[in-house]
Amino acid sequence: MKAGAWIDSILASHSSKGRGSIAASLPTRSVETPVGLVRVYDSRTHKPTVVLVPDGPNVIEHYSRLVELLAPHLRVVCFDMPGFGHSLPSRSYEHSLDQGAGAVLGVLDALHIESTALAFSCANGFYALRAAQIAPERISCLVLSQTPSLGAMQQWVDRIIPKPLTIPGVGQVAAWLFRKKVAKSWYRTALPKTTLARPFQHIALQALADGACFCLAGVVQGLCRESEALSDVRAPVTVVWGTMDRSHKLTDPHSLCNSTPHAEVVRFEDCGHFPDVEQPERYAALLLERVLQTSGSNPYGAGAELGLPSLFPQASP
């Protein structure tokens, strides 16, 4: 057991003790996975399935509008990865690719989902890619927001993440002590200057006040230890890229295509780091088309049913 994982688990458990009820806008429950309990929303309908995962400090509640748009057409599952939101990390959870994929596949097993689309964001996209490698028959397609190549993400860490957070033990303590300050300031960096940060901050800070965790150091350290190329992913991959994300100003949106040549890149020119929750109507139309295409349903008119413009991504040059 690594010291960083142990410290994260202890601090997250401490934060969650003695808190009142979670201020939830969606009904959730906890399910058991091989890497611990995970908090999940499930619309429980008999339709093609999509699984959403928030990019911390976002939590399930940030996805209320997106769920509202998708639920009439899809079975929508949304869960917090271990170490984020109200999914507490176990003492052995180090945010490795295999452990993250284990959380994803564990949720699918717990909810008896045989096949699904995965719509993940940023670092969580690597866990989605790894799950698609491990169980290709279970992943119909991937829609990844703000997910570059693993190498490009590690370069992003070098540019953006404060050095103390990359030090095992020290990083975990610092991330916990300053979790509210970091969460609040992150939205100001990650969102376009024209987008009001306060609604995003309010939900995140309320979750932290309710005992949620934000193990930023843990995921940074875990993914920086990885060297997996994440190639040989057979499922269709769409990368949604918010071009106004100042944190990724120097990141190549097409870098994932080096290991996944069939990936398509769609730019949301007016979005920052969270195109899925910054522009949920447009993102929902795109996601519906992708899911219905790979599920064998007729994708045309999906946007019209929502009263949304139909979006088909352009292949990356």
Q: Percent of the chain at pLDDT above 70?
A: 91
In a 3-state reduction of DSSP, which class is residue 167? Answer: coil
Q: Hey, what amino acid is at 230?
A: L
pTM above 0.85, yes or no: yes
Beta bridge partners of 118: 51, 142
Cβ neighbours of 157 (radius 10 Å): 17
Strand residue runs (E) in the chain: 29-33, 36-42, 49-52, 75-79, 84-85, 116-121, 139-145, 213-214, 237-242, 264-268
For the chain, which domains are there? Answer: 3-306 (3.40.50.1820)
* H or E, element range at 200: helix 198-209
Q: What is the pLDDT of residues 244-291, one digit of tens each?
A: 999 999 999 999 999 999 999 999 999 999 999 999 999 999 999 999
The number of helix segments (H) and strand segments (E) in the chain equals 12, 10
In a 3-state reduction of DSSP, which class is residue 25? Answer: coil
* Contacting residues for 249 by C-beta, under 8 A, at least 6 apart: none
Peptide bond into 57 cis (omega under 30): yes
Q: Percent of the chain at pLDDT above 90?
A: 85
70 HSE (CA, 13 A, CB side): 36
Cα distances (Å, whole numbers) of residue 73 to 8, 79, 143, 238, 295: 38, 19, 17, 20, 12
Distance between CA 244 and CA 228 in Å, rounded? Answer: 28
Q: What is the CA radius of gyration of the chain?
A: 18
Q: What is the pLDDT of residues 16-75, one digit of tens each?
A: 885 656 767 889 999 999 998 999 999 999 999 999 999 999 999 999 999 999 999 999
Q: Mean pLDDT across the stretch 152-179?
A: 96
* Contacting residues for 34 by C-beta, under 8 A, at least 6 apart: 102, 103, 106
In a 3-state reduction of DSSP, which class is residue 225? Answer: coil
